[in-house]
Structure 1
């Protein structure tokens, strides 16, 4: 093809047809420009296709992260705090209206479970989004509204995680002080600790600690439920974008 163009140029020059040569040269330039534009367009198409595929990969990973976040928050903070609140209310009911204890060890262990606590929400399921931010690839999320919502969602999760770390009471420490717990032998409690535990249930301080722990438990469970609801909604939006 190049040889053909060269021969045409040489023939026009040899025939001293300057005007035709200039037209030919202009046409050749136009062809070159068109070729460059086509090459650029093909390159753009390839780049857009690569970015679209990468966006899909990120969205799939974010969807999986949100599913894990929902599952873990529900399991650790909603379900377990349901049990925690139930056990705390059990202790409160006994204090307000004592009833016969059929199984002392089971009774003590039930109340002691109300001391279960967790420092900070389990919010580590954000690897895909953090990679998007750290690599500067957040721009790959082509839906502006979704990109904004993801940013707000994960910012809110960070705030919730920090707030949850500040929620704690002395109830757990108090329980452990009057009833040492051995993971290797959880069913054991000596007579002295048993009697002390039962006596502490009669005190005003113990009742106040239970109420304080209930306040912490209700607040933490409410926050956890909000996280689960928001994560589910966010996952639905991401899944819609994937489709």
Structure 2
């Protein structure tokens, strides 16, 4: 092609057609410029496509991270709500009603909650938006604002009421905190009459009462603060879903729970973990001995994401669906397909 252009220019010059040569040269320059512009356009299109692909990958991670944030904030909010409700009951406990559970409740309401560390800041650092894409920049801005509000105000490293009980010689026994709060002492002799007397003494101290009432106020503030975070997180999830309807939920720690295994949360049971055998299609499997009873599937040992169904041995799983009835005891191979939202129980010992 270059030789052809060179030959044409040489011919025009040799024939003395200067005007035609100039026109041709200008035309050749225009063609080159057009070629460069086309190449730049294609390159920009490829870069934009690459950026959009990276953005979707990052936004998917953020979607799942924020969903996990919301789940944890809801669990924490339930715990804080329990503490708010228990404080007035605690302060009005008659002397002859003080027992081990009373002391555990006092420690529970006055102790700090377990710290929560979100993965959202990490994924946000990897989020690169196309500056010319208004929707992407809006999402980044909203997630950044959300991230800045993630920190939960702590009530202090040591609660005064908590420390006052320790100073009175009352030992700390952490309650079993699950879906419901349980205050069961395994060793009935863990607390003695001495501890009950010391706790009754504290209940009659104005300073201890004042500390508990202050805790009630602070917990109430904490409850509404968490409510704001939950609402903000849900708004971000809706914004992402609107931009990227096919965003994939990356399920983690899927398990099965129910009376066919060890019971539900009310008896302190935990989910039995399942194994993800197909990551791409989010298929989880497990071989397990089941008793006659009911089961449900859930994520992260929480009810925020759970599936139930009304048919057996296979069927469609629904969020917050009914308990799946297991009609017969036996060894089962259990398959849960979270892409299709289906489940299947195959009895192995027939």
Range class of TM-score, shorter chain: 0.7 to 0.9
Give the conservation status (yes or no) of the 8 Å contact 2:52–2:130: no
Q: CA deviation at 1:32?
A: 0.8
* Aligned 1:64-75 pairs, distance under 5 A: 64-75=64-75
Instruction: Specify the alignment match of 2:171 in structure 1.
Output: 180
> Any stretches of 5+ residues in structure 2 without a counterpart?
175-184, 246-350
C-alpha RMSD of the superposition: 2.7
State whether residues 77 and 227 of structure 2, in contact with CA within 8 Å, keep that contact through their aligned partners in structure 1: yes
**1:99 CA drift (Å):** 7.2
Contact 1:84 1:116 in 2 (8 A): no
Matched, 1:105 2:100: yes
> What whole-Å deviation, never above 9, does each CA across 1:186-235 have from its counterpart, x for those lacking one?
74124422321123223333322221111121111111111111111121
| Residue correspondence of structure 1 range 157-176 to structure 2 within 5 A | 157-158=150-151, 161=152, 164-165=153-154, 169-176=159-166
SS at match of 1:126: helix
The one-character-per-residue Cα deviations of 1:129-154 (angstroms, maximum 9, x if unpaired) are 2444xxxx356563244343333333
For residues 14 and 125 of structure 1, the distance between their equivalents in structure 2, rounded to whole angstroms, comes to: 71
Structure with the higher strand share, 1 or 2 = 2
Partner of 2:213: 211
The equivalent residue for 1:229 is: 231
Q: 1:142 to 1:21 in 2, by over 3 A?
A: same
Residues 186 and 125 of structure 1: is their aligned pair in 2 closer, same or farther, counting only changes over 3 Å?
Answer: farther
State the TM-score, normalizing by the size of structure 2: 0.58
Larger Rg: 1
**TM-aligned CA deviation for residue 124 of structure 1:** 5.2
What does residue range 116-135 of structure 1 map to in structure 2 within 5 Å?
A: 116-118=111-113, 122-123=117-118, 125-132=120-127
Structure 1 residues 60 and 218: CA distance shift in structure 2, 3 A: same
Aligned to 1:151: 144
Q: In 2, are the aligned partners of 1:105 and 1:189 still within 8 Å (CA)?
A: yes
Alignment correspondent of 1:142:
134
Which secondary structure does the structure 1 equivalent of 2:92 belong to?
Answer: helix
Q: Deviations over 1:115-169 (max 9, x none)?
A: 221387655533222444xxxx3565632443433333333335xx4xx135674
The count of corresponding residues between Structure 1 and Structure 2 is 229
Give the TM-score, by structure 1 length.
0.81
The equivalent residue for 2:16 is 16
Q: Distance in 1 between matches of 2:19 and 2:13?
A: 10
Greater helix content? 1
**In structure 1, how many angstroms separate the alpha carbons of the residues matched to 2:218 and 2:114?**
12
Cα deviation code 1:61-98 (max 9, x no counterpart): 221221111111111x201112222332220232xxx2
CA distance in 2, matches of 1:47, 1:204: 68
Deviation sequence 1:161-191 (CA, Å, 0-9, x none): 4xx13567411212232311256x8741244
- The whole-number CA distance in structure 2 between the counterparts of 1:194 and 1:125 is 45
Alpha-carbon spacing, 1:171–1:131, altered in 2? closer, same or farther (3 Å): farther
